[in-house]
């Protein structure tokens, strides 16, 4: 077979060709690389072969058609020391078995089981906001509020009435440390956690306290034999076709995985959605009208089906600001796709942030136009040009749960508060594990 030369910058004498921006401003660096060399680019970083992919035919082949040829990327594998071996980082039979055991709970009609937990958490946040709204300084930094909210939601959904304030507050602390971590912690967690620096010390201390709290709750539930209508019950009692059920250790790993997968992604989305509506009064007024017309005082799950415009707005926010801005994979052998060779043990970065902003798929791609999802054209958007939740067998398990969380928070917030964006200038973008604003987004809240 004819193998084509992979487009990309030439190697330097030292064997690397990623410049310093790769380490300090990765999002911009990758964006420029893709704009300059096209939709499939090869480059080297730390003598490691890397491929940057926005070609949607290759996206489909890597994620959907040949998933068995690609493991999760090296970054995920390295992070196992922190995130353990749960659904995000496991591979093969164990992954597929756990996924099947949990899939039922996360179907659209079944996530309603968690709706009351979500409402409880959102109500607690609203009570706090009511107090803030009466103060002279009635401003909130939306990202940390949303982060705290969705840690609360996932912890209540896992442990229901076994949850404690200590678990929630330790989880919130850990969430902040993890998602504001320095690149070193993410790139070389093993090494960086050994360093006697304040960040590593704080991180290890908080993670160890959190692990201890979770393990003790999990052990108690195992030993008590008490059944509850929560995610921990599903983790402990669901059985595979062959009768396999999870050990205490496996349950712990999945609990940590849900904590990390669920909270930050959804909170970034809520922050960006609130940013977009407060920045665009016309969009805000349409969203407000839709909630006023369709959502009752009680806020019922079924009513969310009528939020057509809001759903388009959230879809648009996920297009412009996909929290998972890159999806990484590692070929298990040399793989040739479309005449391009992906070397064994290299890193492939699939780049939703770039794909979602390609003019050939989305006209006026940098603008927020929720209506694009309502028009007949939306049916023509190619399937893999829009992948905020990934694709293929490793596609997000929690998308229905996330939609429910987002609608619920918006319903409560819009019923109670007027929102006024204080951060007028562009907050910029920073790419930690998820895509976040460089500057804080501050919103003023007042009671309606
Ligand atoms: C807007 C919010 C969310 C976004 C944008 C998002 C995005 C993603 C993406 C892109 C992946 C695939 C990663 C890959 O292929 O390497 C993923 C995987 C996953 N997500 Fe989400 N996610 C969100 C919310 C949630 C929530 C709320 C939960 C749990 C309740 C969750 C649980 C998971 C799990 C368990 C996986 C691993 C699935 C597997 O490998 O089988 N996610 N998510």
Most confident of 72-76, 184-188, 215-219, 371-375: 215-219
Q: What mean pLDDT do residues 66-70 have?
A: 96
Q: What does the pLDDT look like over 351-405, one tens digit per residue?
A: 999 999 999 999 999 999 999 998 777 777 999 999 999 999 999 999 999 999 9
The DSSP secondary-structure symbol of 7 reads P
CA 20 to chain centroid, in Å, comes to 26
Per the prediction, the chain carries an average pLDDT of: 93
Distance from Cα 9 to the centre of ligand 1, integer Å: 32
Our answer on whether the CB atom of 314 is closer than 6 Å to any ligand 1 atom is no
Our answer on whether the CB atom of 87 is closer than 6 Å to any ligand 1 atom is yes
| Spatial contact of 441 and 155, defined as CB atoms under 8 Å apart | no
The Cα-based distances of 205 to 80, 168, 173 in angstroms read 18, 16, 11
Q: In this model, does residue 194 exceed pLDDT 60? A: yes
- Among 50, 56, 62, 7, CA closest to 358: 56
Our answer on whether the CB atom of 261 is closer than 6 Å to any ligand 1 atom is yes
CA 99 to ligand 1: nearest atom: 41
Distance from Cα 163 to the centre of ligand 1, integer Å: 23
Instruction: List the beta bridge partners of residue 116.
Output: none
Q: In this model, does residue 279 exceed pLDDT 60? A: yes
| pLDDT number for residue 275 | 97
Distance from Cα 173 to the centre of ligand 1, integer Å: 21
- Among 115, 448, 165, 132, CA closest to 291: 448
Res. 259 pLDDT band, cuts 50 70 90: very high
Q: Name the CATH topology of 21-447.
A: Cytochrome p450 (1.10.630)
CA 154 to ligand 1: nearest atom: 30
Cβ partners under 8 Å of residue 200, min gap 6: 185, 192, 193, 194
Our answer on whether the CB atom of 403 is closer than 6 Å to any ligand 1 atom is no
Our answer on whether the CB atom of 262 is closer than 6 Å to any ligand 1 atom is yes
* Nearest protein Cα to ligand 1, atom 43: 396
Res. 18 pLDDT band, cuts 50 70 90: low
| Spatial contact of 330 and 77, defined as CB atoms under 8 Å apart | yes
| pLDDT number for residue 13 | 54
| pLDDT number for residue 79 | 84
The Cα-based distances of 187 to 81, 91, 184, 351, 409 in angstroms read 12, 20, 5, 18, 33
421: Cα within 13 Å, side-chain hemisphere: 19
The Cα-based distances of 358 to 34, 353, 355 in angstroms read 11, 9, 5
The model's pTM = 0.95
Our answer on whether the CB atom of 26 is closer than 6 Å to any ligand 1 atom is no
Distance from Cα 396 to the centre of ligand 1, integer Å: 4
Our answer on whether the CB atom of 397 is closer than 6 Å to any ligand 1 atom is yes
Distance from Cα 429 to the centre of ligand 1, integer Å: 21
| pLDDT number for residue 430 | 87
| Spatial contact of 120 and 161, defined as CB atoms under 8 Å apart | no
* Residue from 251, 328, 391, 396 whose mutation best tests the ligand 1 pocket (most atoms within 8 A of CB): 396
Our answer on whether the CB atom of 119 is closer than 6 Å to any ligand 1 atom is no
Distance from Cα 195 to the centre of ligand 1, integer Å: 31
* Nearest protein Cα to ligand 1, atom 1: 266
- Among 214, 88, 121, CA closest to 159: 214
CA 72 to ligand 1: nearest atom: 16
* Residue from 96, 398, 399, 434 whose mutation best tests the ligand 1 pocket (most atoms within 8 A of CB): 398
CA 323 to ligand 1: nearest atom: 5
Distance from Cα 401 to the centre of ligand 1, integer Å: 10
Our answer on whether the CB atom of 351 is closer than 6 Å to any ligand 1 atom is no
The residues spanned by each domain of the chain are 21-447
User: What phi and psi, each to the nearest 5 degrees, are found at residue 41?
Assistant: -130, 140
* Residue from 261, 355, 400 whose mutation best tests the ligand 1 pocket (most atoms within 8 A of CB): 261
Distance from Cα 178 to the centre of ligand 1, integer Å: 17
| pLDDT number for residue 349 | 95
| pLDDT number for residue 271 | 96
Our answer on whether the CB atom of 398 is closer than 6 Å to any ligand 1 atom is yes
Our answer on whether the CB atom of 437 is closer than 6 Å to any ligand 1 atom is no
Round to whole Å and give the CA distance between 397 and 408.
Answer: 19
């Amino acid at each position: 077979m004819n193998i084509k030369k992979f487009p990309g910058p030439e190697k330097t004498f030292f064997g690397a060709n990623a410049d310093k921006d790769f380490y300090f401003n990765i999002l911009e660096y990758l964006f420029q690389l893709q704009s300059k060399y096209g939709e499939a680019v090869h480059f080297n970083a730390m003598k490691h072969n890397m491929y940057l992919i926005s070609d949607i035919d290759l996206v489909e082949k890597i994620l959907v058609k040949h998933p068995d040829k690609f493991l999760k990327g090296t970054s995920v594998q390295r992070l196992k020391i922190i995130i353990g071996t749960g659904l995000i980082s496991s591979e093969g039979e164990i992954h597929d078995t756990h996924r099947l055991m949990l899939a039922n709970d996360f179907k659209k009609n079944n996530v309603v089981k968690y709706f009351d937990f979500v409402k409880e958490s959102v109500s607690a946040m609203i009570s706090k906001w009511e107090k803030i709204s009466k103060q002279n300084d009635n401003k909130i930094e939306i990202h940390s509020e949303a982060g705290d909210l969705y840690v609360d939601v996932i912890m209540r959904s896992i442990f229901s009435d076994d949850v404690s304030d200590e678990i929630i507050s330790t989880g919130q602390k850990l969430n902040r440390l993890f998602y504001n971590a320095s690149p070193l912690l993410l790139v070389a967690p093993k090494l960086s956690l050994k360093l006697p620096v304040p960040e590593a010390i704080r991180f290890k201390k908080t993670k160890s306290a959190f692990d201890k709290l979770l393990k003790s709750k999990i052990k108690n539930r195992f030993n008590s034999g008490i059944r509850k209508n929560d995610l921990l019950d599903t983790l402990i009692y669901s059985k595979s076709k062959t009768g396999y059920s999870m050990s205490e250790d496996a349950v712990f790993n999945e609990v940590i995985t849900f904590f990390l997968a669920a909270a930050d992604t959804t909170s970034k989305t809520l922050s960006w959605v609130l940013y977009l509506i407060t920045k665009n009064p016309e969009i805000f007024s349409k969203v407000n009208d839709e909630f006023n017309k369709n959502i009752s005082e009680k806020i019922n799950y079924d009513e969310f089906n009528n939020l057509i415009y809001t759903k388009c707005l959230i879809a648009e926010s996920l297009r412009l600001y996909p929290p998972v801005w890159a999806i990484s994979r590692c070929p298990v052998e040399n793989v040739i796709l479309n005449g391009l060779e992906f070397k064994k043990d290299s890193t492939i970065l699939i780049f939703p942030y770039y794909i979602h902003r390609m003019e050939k798929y989305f006209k006026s791609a940098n603008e927020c136009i929720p209506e694009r999802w309502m028009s007949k054209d939306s049916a023509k958007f190619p399937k893999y040009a829009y992948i905020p939740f990934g694709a293929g067998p490793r596609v997000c398990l929690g998308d229905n749960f996330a939609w429910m969380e987002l609608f619920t928070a918006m319903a409560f917030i819009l019923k109670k508060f007027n929102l006024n964006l204080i951060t007028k200038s562009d907050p910029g973008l920073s790419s930690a594990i998820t895509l976040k604003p460089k500057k804080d987004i501050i919103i003023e809240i007042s009671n309606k």
